[in-house]
């Protein structure tokens, strides 16, 4: 997380045109898995390629007052096919089962 010259939390995203980075005037609302903070537009854009989530009001208050928040852990869900607990994924299948199902459907 970075801060502006007044000590306020600052967005680590590019906010707008990627060819011309600029300081973002928006408030920080999101955090990614590496601890970088983003405003809402940058956070939504970051979510498309990396794990990024919206901060809770309590976490925002903690960070703003100079504190630290807990490590970002992905939610684990049960795979529909093998019933093992894996990080949440699209479609409800773990990576191994998804690959197996795609291979099976390609053969048919």
Would you say residue 34 lies in a domain?
Answer: yes
Q: What does pTM read for this prediction?
A: 0.57
- Non-local (6+) Cβ contacts of 22 within 8 A are 14, 15, 16
Are residues 18 and 60 both part of a single domain? yes
Q: What is the pLDDT of residue 78?
A: 77
Are residues 20 and 40 both part of a single domain? yes
Are residues 57 and 82 both part of a single domain? no
Q: How many domains does the chain have?
A: 2
Q: How far is CA 106 from CA 21, 67, 80, 89, 97, in A?
A: 44, 51, 20, 21, 14
The string of pLDDT tens digits covering residues 33-46 is: 888 888 888 888 88
Are residues 57 and 99 both part of a single domain? no
Are residues 14 and 35 both part of a single domain? yes
> Which residue range is the domain that position 54 belongs to?
2-64
Bigger pLDDT: 76 vs 63: 63
């Amino acid at each position: 997380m970075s801060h502006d010259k007044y000590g306020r939390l600052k967005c680590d995203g590019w906010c707008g045109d990627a060819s011309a980075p600029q300081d973002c005037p928006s408030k920080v609302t999101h955090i990614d898995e590496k601890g970088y903070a983003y405003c809402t537009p940058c956070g939504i854009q970051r979510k498309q390629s990396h794990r990024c989530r919206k901060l809770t009001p309590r976490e925002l208050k903690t960070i703003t007052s100079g504190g630290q928040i807990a490590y970002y852990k992905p939610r684990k869900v049960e795979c529909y096919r093998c019933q093992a607990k894996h990080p949440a994924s699209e479609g409800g299948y773990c990576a191994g089962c998804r690959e197996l199902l795609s291979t099976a459907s390609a053969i048919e």
